[in-house]
Structure 1
Amino acid sequence: MHAIRLHAYGPAENLVYEETGDPAPGPGQVRIAVTAAGVHLLDTALRQGMPGPFPALPDLPTIPGREVAGTVDALGEGTDPAWLGKRVVAHLGMAPGGYAERAVTDAARLHEIPPVLDDAAAVAMIGTGRTTLGILGFTDLGPDSVALITAAAGGIGTLLVQYAKNAGATAIGLAGGPRKTARVTAEGADLAVDYTRPDWPEQVRAYLGDRGATVVFDGVGGPTGRAAVGLLGPGGQHLVYGWAGRGPHDGEPLTFTDEELAERGITSRSVLGPAMLARAGGDIRTLELRSLAEAAAGRLRPAVQRFPLAEAAAAHRALESRATMGKVVLVP
């Protein structure tokens, strides 16, 4: 099979498209003939040798990627034969191997793809979708809510805009540049603002009048995230799911003292990792099932940007330079 392999940590050019042996499923596992593989910003950090939330870096050479969709084409010992030939999607967890024409995973990780979803959309929902619903578990959006979404043209941001509008909330989306703000408007945001313009907070204040935002969904951090928090009204929530801004000082998590929060009457918390898992009752599959169901019902519509598998390096460069919109997916 063909796969993307990383032989040395470093720049995107270290991702090499090459032939390698087909993986064999072990007991309780399946092999998937991959039709779509998700690319995550964490993949770019791992490629550079930064483990991030992972306990350790993978041994080299490695095939990156932890989100795949496709058709089950081989079974390991003891695996339910009913899986053979089914269209499935899976998050591989800590085990990489997704950037390839074939990947193996435990059958317990599989979800059958709803017939109305294509494979790329299913990949977007198994990772990005489940994270979005996990974030939303920390707030309760309704007609009186004003949601300020900092990375609204991204995979998570797009779904947050859609969810907010479905809930009857006012959705204000921040994105970098006119192409992205146009996309945010097309997704239904009440206001889309270019956060590369220095006057963007004034634009939001002019739109809201005497209202403040009730929740900031922050995937940017740095000065942009701090300016967004400045638009919260009393009782507002700052929910942090990343710090991937492209500004000169973005890409840094925000910190607030208890005194600052008390003075403003707001709260700030990170919603990833153990906190999200605990809020989901300790079962991440619950979020995956809900995510796929929301997409199948048409309530959430993931935005997808596709790259050929052989161009994984270009996909990483585009993601790192914030040139992408929606979920980045590799297609073998």
Structure 2
Amino acid sequence: MKAVQATHYGDPNVLEVVELPDPTPGPGEITIDVTHAAVGLVDLFFREGRFKDRPGMPQPPFVPGLEVAGTVRALGDGVAGFTVGERVVSMSNGGINGYASVFIAQAALVVSLEGYDIDPALAVSVVPNAAMAHIALTRVARLVEGESVLIHGALGGFSSAFPGIAKQLGASRIVGTVRASKLEAAATTKLPYGKIVDSAEFLTALGEERFDVVIDPVGGEVRSRSLEVMRPGGRLIACGNASGDWGHSIETDRLWLGSVAFMGFNAGAYIPAHPDTVRPALEAAVSAVAAGLGRTEVDVLPFSQAVTAHERMTNRSLKGRIALTPGESA
């Protein structure tokens, strides 16, 4: 099979297209002929070696990629409910191996696209993240119909999955924040935001408006300032650290004084402990995307341009998502 491999830790140039043996599925597994693999921020973190000293993190050489779309190639023992040739989307169990023309998935992390008119590039870019957003909103934030939601980094790969799911769950108000350089793109987004404001000025822009749930994959000072726009009883979900401010902290006295809660959501930790949440979340995600609640721009590049894809992710020169395809042309 063709794959994009990180040969070492380092900059995007460590990515190389290689030939590897075709994998075969074990019990409870499905092999997928990949048409599209999503490119995400965590792929960059793994490639750079940010988590190299943590147990279980990928060591070079490895194939990045968390999510794929394609068709079922073969079924392992004990797998039911899927057929060879069926269009599917899958999340990764270990956070890697997606940038390959053949992918092995745990059957529990695969959802069918049959019966839905969803482009596979959009599906791989939105469905897995929307499933995680569904779990975060229903099981961690416990979003109640009629509540309001503020989403930082509103157009980012993970954040952009939240407004559609929040809308599906009955949120009354959905507001986003982005960097000033993203405001032009925000003005034309088809995602179901009520409005999107400058993240550097969001306290002023929001005035007296308060929120029941805040989604924060940004971290740093954005996280601290979010306390000022949370309604008593509000919940902030910390689900990333795009700011890179790993030393940031929150004064816990501010939590009890404001009667708010801060919670973390890391799919890699949560899903293995709560596997029963995955299937309903994936089905809800497909339904939301089919209903037009996950519309975002997706640029498709061949595996041979994986370096370019990572460079664009690094310098943020994209309006939506990037997906890679094994073919030589997009």
Q: Corresponding residue for 1:227?
A: 225
The answer to whether the 8 A contact 1:75-1:81 is kept is no
Of 235, 255, 260, 1:237 maps to 235
Check conservation: 2:133, 2:165, Cα contact below 8 A.
Answer: no
Q: TM-score, normalised by structure 1?
A: 0.83
Residue aligning to 2:131: 130
The equivalences for 1:88-107 within 5 A come to 88-94=88-94, 96-107=96-107
Q: What is the DSSP-based 3-state SS (H/G/I as helix, E as strand, rest coil) of the residue aligned with 2:105?
A: strand
The amino acid across from 1:191 in the alignment is K
Letter in 1 for 2:310: H
User: 2:154–2:178: 8 Å Cα contact kept in structure 1?
Assistant: yes
TM-score (norm 2): 0.83
The gaps in structure 1 that reach 5 residues or longer are: none
Cα distance in 2 for partners of 1:88, 1:188 equals 25
For 1:277-296, what per-residue CA distance to the aligned partner results, in whole angstroms no more than 9, with x for missing partners?
49967442332222123223
- For 2:228 and 2:40, locate their aligned partners in 1 and report how far apart those are by CA, in whole Å: 29
Q: Once the 2 structures are TM-superposed, how far is the Cα of residue 165 of structure 1 from its aligned partner?
A: 4.5
Amino acid paired to 2:66: R
Return the alpha-carbon distance in structure 2 between the equivalents of residues 233 and 11 of structure 1: 42
Residue 154 of structure 1 and its aligned partner are, at CA, apart by: 1.3
1:27-46 equivalences under 5 Å are 29-46=29-46
1:65 is displaced (CA, Å) by 1.4
Total equivalences in the alignment: 321
Q: Secondary structure at the match of 1:263?
A: helix
Using the TM superposition, give the Cα deviation of residue 272 of structure 1 relative to its aligned residue in structure 2, in angstroms: 2.6
Q: Distance in 2 between matches of 1:97 and 1:275?
A: 18
Question: Separation in 1 of the partners of 2:51 and 2:297?
Answer: 27
CA separation of 1:331/1:216 partners in 2, compared to 1, >3 Å: closer, same or farther? same
| Cα deviation 1:169-193 (Å, max 9, x = unaligned) | 2222111235445436632422211
Q: Which amino acid aligns with 1:84?
A: V
Which residue of structure 2 lines up, in the alignment, with residue 158 of structure 1? 160
When residues 174 and 48 of structure 1 are mapped into structure 2, their CA distance, relative to the original with a 3 A threshold, is same
Moved more, 156-165 or 308-317: 156-165
Matched-pair contact (CA < 8 Å) for 1:126–1:292? yes
d(CA) in 2 for partners of 1:53 and 1:36?
30
Q: What's the CA shift string for 1:186-243, capped at 9, x where partnerless?
A: 3242221122x4x4421221xxxx4423322111010122222222233322121111
Please state whether the residue corresponding to 1:257 is helix, strand or coil: coil
CA distance in 1, matches of 2:225, 2:81: 54
Asked if the contact 2:224/2:250 (under 8 Å) is kept, the reply is no
Percentage of pairs with the same residue: 28
Residue pairs, 1:119-198, within 5 angstroms: 119-137=120-138, 138-143=141-146, 145-165=147-167, 167-180=170-183, 182-183=185-186, 186=189, 187-195=191-199, 197=200
Write the letter of the residue equivalent to 2:217. G
Report the equivalent of 1:217.
Answer: 215
Distance in 1 separating the partners of 2:165 and 2:81: 37
Please point out which of 246, 263, 284 is paired with 1:252.
246
Q: CA RMSD in A?
A: 3.1
Deviations 1:93-139 (A, max 9, x none): 11632102222334454322133112123223442111111121113
Q: Is the 8 A contact 1:72 1:87 kept in 2?
A: yes
Pair 1:58–1:159, CA change in 2 (3 A)? closer
2:8 maps to 8
